[in-house]
Amino acid sequence: MIFVLPDLPYSKDALSPCISAKTLDFHHGKHHQLYIDNTNKLIAGTDLEGQTLREIVMATANDPAKAGIFNNAAQVWNHSFYWRCMKAGGGGAPTGAVAEGINKAFGNYENFAKAFKEAGMTQFGSGWAWLVEKNGKLEIMKTGNADTPMAHGAKALLTADVWEHAYYLDYQNRRADYLQDFLGKLINWEFVNQQLAK
């Protein structure tokens, strides 16, 4: 199986001004593509060739000898997931099962938003902020570099990429503003509800 760059689920200017077409050109077209190219090279001729991305991530997690494969394959998975977490005109409070789960776990949407933003702000260096389901309840996680919830027994529902390449062209060092726009204007809650229902 040769992995290929998935199309964005919207046009490159659809998320503007929160995320510009220029950012998506670099982030999707260059960074995500490089992780895919590296993954294809690293698994060629190995017992991982022909496996799904999820299988490759799980097979290489916590194996220092396969860190290069994990880092690239997990970044392919994380990015493919991240693009679908956003849409034009998204954000704000959720509805449906996710709203019920957030109210149960955090008390209300405002508490969730504060905790999610804090996870993104306190992830030192590169990484991700996540809403996950673990042991039947919703939790917020943060992971460094390429790390991903599935490697920790959790199901990803939502993520914000806090690597600088996700926001620097649009926000420079203002990660807080990027996260505020992500929460208020970009989250695709329909996608999040679909993940919860799986």
As for how many domains the chain has, the answer is 2
> Is pLDDT of 13 > 90?
yes
Q: What integer best gives the mean pLDDT of the chain?
A: 97
Verify that 51 and 118 share a domain, yes or no: no
How do residues 98-143 score in pLDDT, each as one tens digit? Answer: 999 999 999 999 999 999 999 999 999 999 999 999 999 999 999 9
Residue 37 annotated as part of some ligand binding site: no
Residue 28 annotated as part of some ligand binding site: no
Verify that 190 and 121 share a domain, yes or no: yes
Verify that 33 and 74 share a domain, yes or no: yes
Verify that 184 and 152 share a domain, yes or no: yes
Residue 147 annotated as part of some ligand binding site: no
Q: What is the DSSP letter of 177?
A: H
Verify that 70 and 111 share a domain, yes or no: no
Which candidate, 128, 178, 185, 184, places its Cα nearest to that of 157? 128
Residue 181 annotated as part of some ligand binding site: no
Verify that 107 and 171 share a domain, yes or no: yes
Verify that 68 and 107 share a domain, yes or no: no
| CATH number of the domain bearing residue 50 | 1.10.287.990
Residues 65-70: contacts with CB within 8 Å, 24+ apart?
68/38, 68/42, 69/39, 69/42, 69/43, 70/146
Verify that 77 and 101 share a domain, yes or no: no
Last residue of a domain, one of 84, 115, 138: 84
Provide the sign of the torsion angle of the four alpha carbons 1, 68, 117, 88, taken in this order. negative
> Is pLDDT of 1 > 70?
no
> Is pLDDT of 177 > 80?
yes
Average pLDDT of span 22-34: 97
Task: Give the up-direction half-sphere exposure of residue 183: CA atoms within 13 A in the CB hemisphere.
Answer: 21
* Predicted TM-score (pTM) of this structure: 0.96
Verify that 71 and 117 share a domain, yes or no: no
Q: Which residue range is the domain that position 180 belongs to? A: 96-197
Verify that 182 and 113 share a domain, yes or no: yes
Question: Cα(128)–Cα(161) distance, rounded to whole angstroms?
Answer: 5
Match 């109210």 to its residue by tokens: 103
Question: Cα(158)–Cα(55) distance, rounded to whole angstroms?
Answer: 20
| CATH number of the domain bearing residue 150 | 3.55.40.20
Verify that 109 and 77 share a domain, yes or no: no
Question: Cα(121)–Cα(154) distance, rounded to whole angstroms?
Answer: 21
Residue 10 resides in a domain: no
Residue 15 resides in a domain: no
Verify that 75 and 101 share a domain, yes or no: no
